[in-house]
Structure 1
Amino acid sequence: MSGWEAAKARMYDVFGHVPRPERVAGCPHCVEPGEERCLLAQPVDSVEAESLARYAAKALTTWGGVTEFRYFLPRLLECAAADAFSYPDPEIVFGKLSSAGWRAWSEEERDAVTEFLSEWWHETLGHHPVRPPIDTVLCALAATGMDLTSFLNAWSGLDTDASIRHLHDFVMTGWSGRRLTNAFWNRDNPAYEQAFTWLAGGPAAAAVEAAFARQSREDLLELLAAIHTAITLRSPHSRP
C-alpha cells in the first residue's frame, strides 16, 4: 500500500469513532427536510461524490455542525482531493477544516489529517498531469491553516520530472509576478506570503538553478530555462 493510500485508510480508521448522526439539520430555506437520508443510508466510505457534493458546499454554514462534519470528513477530503465534486472546489472543502477548528482536535486526529495533507502533496508532486492541478492543491493546503514550509521545501528539490513540470505550470498560469492568481487565495493568510515569497523572493529561482546544473534531459532543461526566465522577469523588487 502506498503512503497516499495508507493516509486515506488511516483517516477512515481514526474518524471511525465518530457516531453516525441520526439526522443532519440544516437551514430550512437551504436544505429540504430529510435531504440527508441518502448520505446516512450507507457506510460513509460508500457515499457517492455526486450525493455528497451538496453537503460539502453547505457544511458548517447552512447544513450541520462540526460533529456531522467530522463524521463525513474522510470521505469529504478523499473526494475533494480527487476533484470529484463539480462544486464545491477543493479549496472550499479543505478550507472548512480551518472553520471546524481541526488544530484543536485530539493529537491522533490532527496527526491523521496532517498525514493526509502531506501525502496528498507528495502524491501530487510525483505525477504530472494531475487533477486537481498543483496551484489548486497548494491553495487548498493553505486554506487549512497549515504552514507551507515543508511543502515548499519538498517542491524545491525538483528531483522528478513531474515536480519540474508542475513548477512550470504554476509559474506560467498560477502567478502573475505581482500576485498568485487562484481566486481562492486569501492574501491575509500567512501561507499566501510564504508561497509568494518562495516564488518571488529567491528560493524557487535557486531551486531551478540547482536543478539545471544536475539535469541532462533537453526537454527538462528547456522547461527549467523558461521557469527561470519567467521568475527573473516577473519578480517584483517588492510586493505592492
Structure 2
Amino acid sequence: MFGAVARPAAVPGCPHCVEPGAGACLLSGPVAAIEAASLARYAAKALTTWGGVPEFRYFLPRLLECAAADAFSYPDPEIVLGKLAVAGWQGWPAAEREAITGFLYAWWRETLGRHPSRPSAGTVLCALAAAGLDLAPCLDLWAGLEDDAAIEHLRDFVTDGLSGRRLTNAFWDRGAPAYAQVLAWLTEGPAARAVEAAFTREAREHVLGLLADVHTEIRHALPPRP
C-alpha cells in the first residue's frame, strides 16, 4: 500500500542535530533493504529534528517492521509507534489507515501467540496505545486466554507491568484514554473474569499455577469492596 509513496530526494534535518548528507544511506536502495542500524537514528529523530510527514510515510513500512522485530537497540518500540500519532496517521487515506491498523493488530496477535516474545506483550500494548490504536480488540483477544502463551504474557504483565493501580511502563501516557482502558481491564473485573473462566476449563497443573499467579496479582490491584 505504501509502495506508491514517492522516494524523497533528501531527508532534511535540523543543521544542529543532523549532519549534512546523513540521510544518503537511507535513500541509496529500496526502503525494505535499509539496515536497522542505519534507520535507528532516523527513527529516533523523525518528525522532530529530521524529516517531516512525507519522509516518514516513505520509511514507515520498514520502521514498523523493525519495531515489531525489536531490531532497534534505540529507540524503543513505544517511541517509534508514537511517531504515528505525531504524523496524524488517522487522517491519512483510508487504504493507508487500514494497512497500518491491519499490521498493528496482526503484530498483537503474533505476540500473544508466542512466549517469550521480543518485544514483550506489555511493550507492544503500550506501543499500540502510543500510536492511538483502539485497544479494545487487543484486550478482547487477550481475554480469551486461548493458549498458554497468552496466559504467560498476562502473568508477566501483571507481575512486572502493574503496581497497585498503576501501569509501570514509563512510556504510558497516564492522561490518555488508553491508559485508563487498560487499567480498568486489569483492575475492574474483566481480566479477573477471564482468568476465572480459564480456571474452569483447565486441568494442567503448570497452567493452573500460572492462572493462580495472575489471579493473585489482579486481586491485589482490585479496589476494596464497599
Same fold (TM over 0.5): yes
What runs of 5+ residues in structure 1 fail to find an aligned partner?
1-13
Residue among 170, 193, 197 paired with 2:180 = 193
Aligned to 1:3: none
Distance in 2 of aligned mates of 1:233 and 1:21: 52
Whether 1:80 and 2:71 are equivalent positions in the alignment is: no
* Other-structure match for 2:39: 52
Are the aligned partners of 1:176 and 1:234 in contact in 2 as well (CA < 8 Å)?
yes
Structure 1 position 109 matched with structure 2 position 109: no
AA aligned to 2:203 is: S
Residue number in structure 2 paired with 1:132: 119
User: Is residue 158 of structure 1 aligned with residue 113 of structure 2?
Assistant: no
Q: Which residue of 2 aligns with 1:65?
A: 52
Structure 2: which 5+ residue stretches go unaligned?
none
Partner of residue 79, structure 2: 92
Separation in structure 1 between the aligned mates of residue 221 and residue 179 of structure 2, nearest angstrom: 17
Question: What is the CA deviation profile of residues 111-156 of structure 1, one whole-angstrom value per residue up to 9, with x for unaligned ones?
Answer: 0000000100000000000000111000000001111111000000
- Whether 1:148 and 2:140 are equivalent positions in the alignment is no
Aligned position for 2:165: 178
Partner residue, 1:10? none
The one-letter amino acid of 2:186's match is L
8 Å contact from structure 1 (residues 95, 140) kept in 2: yes
- Cα distance, 1:230 vs structure 2: 1.2
Alignment-mate amino acid for residue 19 of structure 2: E
Deviation at 1:237, TM superposition (A): 4.0
Q: How many aligned residue pairs are there?
A: 225
Match of 1:23? 10
> 1:217 Cα deviation (Å)?
1.0
Give the Å deviation of 1:235. 2.2
How far apart in 1 are the matches of 2:185 and 2:165? 13
Measure how far apart 1:178 and its partner are.
2.0
Corresponding residue to 2:198 among 204, 211, 224: 211
Q: SS of the counterpart of 2:166?
A: coil
Mapped partners of 2:52, 2:223: distance in 1? 43
TM-score (norm 2): 0.98
Structure 2 distance, partners of 1:195, 1:228, is 16
Structure 1's consecutive aligned runs of 4 or more residues displaced over 2 angstroms after TM superposition are 234-238
